[in-house]
Structure 1
Amino acid sequence: MAVRLFEGRDHAAAYCRYRVTPCELIDTIVSYVEKKTPNQCNLAVDVGCGSGQGTILLAPHFTKVVGTDVSPAQLEMALTNENPPNVSYRECPAETLPFACGEVDLVSAFAAAHWFDREKFLLEVDRVLRPGGCLALLSYSMDMELEYGDVPDTTLNGICKEFYTALLPFRHPHLGTSSSDIYSAMFDSCPYPDKEWTGSLKVKRSLPLSGYIGMVETFSSFQGLLQKDPSRAERLSDDTKNKLMSAMKVSSPETEVTVIVKFFYWLARKPL
């Protein structure tokens, strides 16, 4: 059974505002789709699309892009985007996609597949993909890093690690100790012989320090703490922010920092 989270309106709004989408990977995905079957980029389906950041990035490359999600709140947020005319959204589980057999050229999932029922999802992907169609799954690890001016990276990242360590007891049990293990297991269980795993891609973004804090607050572990003890969650977030500002010698949480997000991904092609 799939795990359902991220369905509240406030969480959906924060997800839309703070999550980082690796636009650097879109060309890699599209090139993989076109490698053996060029000029067949008609329909892409972005599963677990959330607020649609990844869905929109696919739009220039496909005739039609459909984002799907189980959360009405996330889809409502996606509809507030400036969506291209070839982008639409559907509410449905990842394991039951509303598409005909062999209709889809690409199935993607951006930082969502770890919540799916792995066996049922892969079977559904195989059903909807055309021969030669592709699957692209990607996510990132929690251990993001920060850079700021001449401040030693070890100083900032030591504070970040304290933040992550405090959240570990509230990590959802479905994720285990590492979500990358879930993706690795999915990769191994995918029956397609044509598949590629990439274990590390560092993506850098300039964000306000408050944006980094906001991104961590969208994680399921922080949300777990927030539900159990809101005051403690707020204190932890504020203490981390203040420690980082002190180390950076700045007075505003809107000070820009470089956030390094560590992505991993895999691509697979259904046999022709």
Structure 2
Amino acid sequence: MSVRLFEGKEHALSYWKYRISPSEEIINKILVFLEKHRSRPFELVVDVGCGSGQGTVLLGPHFSKAVGTDVSPAQLEMARQHSSAENITYRECPAEELPFENATVDLVTSMSAFHWFDHPRFLKEADRILKPKGCLALLNYTINDMELSYGDCSNALSQICKEFADALMPYRNPYLGTTSMDHYKKAYNALEYLDKEWHETLQTRKTVSVSNYIGLVESFSPYQTILREDPEKARRLSQDTTERLLKAMGVTSPDTEIVLSVRYYCLLACKP
């Protein structure tokens, strides 16, 4: 089975405003892996479960054509609003039914979405559309691995960050299990491609405001579950976390900037 979430317009806007994108270093790691197997120029990349399109935009300059796909019309509308590149387009479709001919795609990516798919069906579909020596890149980061830095109170901030994440755990979708990483490791082990790599400690650091960090966490599915079930509880959780962070920092404005560190993990594989 696959899971359909993140489809409302407000949630799509939250995705665009707050979700972080892979660093240039991570994108380059994917491209270097691809270049080991296929010579430039690269023709077509398909970014599956693209959401509001941040990852698709990062890939676009490196390909003749980039296509982002998603099941959510609201997410795709947001992606189209923020993409002006002529070589980037978006298609509405399930991850397990991709509208591309056999062996026509250089690179298939999924950034923070694969764990929601029907994994065997998606991997079979990715294999179908990939060219020989085409590559697959599945990457994700988790809320549990986030750290915050500010002055000499970074440890305190990271502890508050962890407690915020822990408060959301009871609302985690059962489909995901204890950790999303398990889905990616299982896919890595299941793939029969001989040339594949597993990377577990790819760090991305970004300067964000305290309010933007809160907005990022609010965009995750467990928080959205609380928001649907008990809006007041969700509001209190965000407010209390914001107040604790500001107090630890010795500031009063949620616009104060902090450094957010996120740990990505990534599966790279090349079709024979």
TM-score (normalised: structure 2): 0.98
Shift of 1:82: 3.2
SS at match of 2:67: strand
Q: How does 1:1-272 map to 2 (within 5 A)?
A: 1-24=1-24, 25-143=26-144, 144-151=146-153, 153-271=154-272
SS at match of 2:69: strand
Q: Which amino acid aligns with 1:161?
A: K
Deviations 1:194-236 (A, max 9, x none): 0000011111100000010000000111011111111000000
- Distance in 2 separating the partners of 1:237 and 1:180: 26
Deviations 1:119-143 (A, max 9, x none): 0000000100000000000000212
TM-score (normalised: structure 1): 0.98
Shift of 1:157: 1.5
- Distance in 2 separating the partners of 1:62 and 1:31: 13
- Distance in 2 separating the partners of 1:158 and 1:23: 24
Aligned residues: 270
- What is the percentage of aligned positions where both structures have the same residue? 53
Whether contact under 8 Å (1:56, 1:83) holds in the other structure is no
Whether contact under 8 Å (1:187, 1:197) holds in the other structure is yes
SS at match of 1:32: helix
Whether contact under 8 Å (1:23, 1:57) holds in the other structure is no
Q: Which amino acid aligns with 2:50?
A: C
SS at match of 1:207: strand
Q: Which amino acid aligns with 1:48?
A: G
Whether contact under 8 Å (1:196, 1:267) holds in the other structure is yes
Whether contact under 8 Å (2:96, 2:125) holds in the other structure is yes
Bigger mean CA offset, 29-38 vs 87-96: 29-38
Runs of 4+ in 1 over 2 A off after TM superposition: none
Structure 1, gaps ≥5 residues long? none
